Amino acid sequence: MSVAVIGGTGIDQLAGLSATREQQLETPFGAPSGAIEVGAIDGVPVLFLQRHGKPRSLPPHRINYRANLWALRELGAAAVVAINAVGGIHEACEPGTLVVPDQLIDYTWGREHTVDEGGAVPIRHVDFTEPYDPALRRALLMAAQESAIACRDGGVLGVTQGPRLETAAEIQRLRRDGCDLVGMTGMPEAALARELGLPYASLCMVVNAAPGLDNEPLTLEAMGDVLAREAGSAAALLRAFLTARRRV
């Protein structure tokens, strides 16, 4: 069984992945964001999908999350690690920080958020008390600790609709709601994974202070600089996680 990695902004390729083929797969919900790379990292079977497509062209609200998760399951994924580029709201989540969140709040609307379309099967009332798989979270954090990679344990990810960034007032509302991070792609991805029986965890790369929380202008260039540095740390953590998984 494979570990599936879903790449976000800045993760167009997976460091160390020896891909044997690219798999195009049609699902009951249409086509995924693109071809899924099938291969291995240090002997561990890995599936890699860039959720925004390659080249990146899909905004957060246009991603076919249902097809993505369905295709990964069909190709034998046993667990999913999702990489998300996010903004930091909590003072401890400054740009350049890696975070493995433990909770989320969904502010999105209009997205296809379930594979349950009615019919003869029972309604999918899945337990979503803990949106991220605890064992998978612990494995990521343990890999970070053993590799001396700084990574924050826990946090609430607020998922907004995008593709625009948030207003300062919206960020203050998210802060009052208890959000530590803000991103655009964490839902319905996490819930769909739960419906499909896939253990799922997120590795968040904080690339900017959320709007209104920094005196510096919010520019794509500045975010890109931080993202380029964090992508290396995220790749190193993933490799450490996979190496540890091979030992189990």
Tell me what percent of the residues of the chain surpass a pLDDT of 90: 73
Specify if 46 maps to a domain: yes
Q: Is 243 annotated as a binding residue?
A: no
Give the DSSP H/E element, type plus range, for residue 168: helix 168-177
Specify if 228 maps to a domain: yes
- Classify the C-alpha dihedral 14-19-24-27 as positive or negative: negative
Q: Is 160 annotated as a binding residue?
A: no
Specify if 123 maps to a domain: no
Predicted pLDDT of residue 124: 73
Amino acid, res. 18: S
Specify if 185 maps to a domain: yes
What is the total count of domains within the chain?
A: 1
Q: Are 68 and 52 in contact (CB under 8 A)?
A: no
Host domain of residue 61: 2-111+129-247
> Which of 76-90, 162-176, 210-224 comes out lowest in average pLDDT?
210-224
Specify if 45 maps to a domain: yes
> What is the Cα–Cα distance from 77 to 69, expressed in whole angstroms?
9
**DSSP string covering 80-149, please?**
EEEEEEEEE-STTS-TT-EEE-SEEEE---SS---S---SSSPP-----SSSS-HHHHHHHHHHHHHTT-
Give the length of the chain: 248
Q: How confident is the model at residue 34 (pLDDT cuts 50, 70, 90)?
A: very high
Name the token pair of 162: 């995008």
Name the token pair of 53: 């497509």
> Which of 22-26, 77-81, 84-88, 220-224 comes out lowest in average pLDDT?
220-224
Q: Is 66 annotated as a binding residue?
A: no
Q: Is 52 annotated as a binding residue?
A: yes
Q: Is 208 annotated as a binding residue?
A: yes
Specify if 122 maps to a domain: no
Domain with residue 196: its CATH number is 3.40.50.1580
Condensed to tens digits (0 to 9), the pLDDT of residues 148-185 reads 999 999 999 999 999 999 999 999 999 999 999 999 99
Predicted pLDDT of residue 45: 93
Q: How confident is the model at residue 192 (pLDDT cuts 50, 70, 90)?
A: very high
Specify if 11 maps to a domain: yes
> What is the Cα–Cα distance from 86 to 51, expressed in whole angstroms?
15
Specify if 120 maps to a domain: no
Asked if the model's pLDDT at residue 120 lies above 60, the reply is no
Q: Is 82 annotated as a binding residue?
A: no
The beta strand positions in the chain, using DSSP E, are: 2-7, 18-23, 36-41, 44-50, 77-88, 98-100, 103-106, 152-153, 156-159, 181-183, 200-209
Q: Is 215 annotated as a binding residue?
A: no
Question: What dihedral do alpha carbons 207, 210, 214, 219 form, nearest 10°?
Answer: 60
Predicted pLDDT of residue 10: 77
Half-sphere CA count of 160, side-chain side, radius 13 A: 18
Q: Is 61 annotated as a binding residue?
A: no
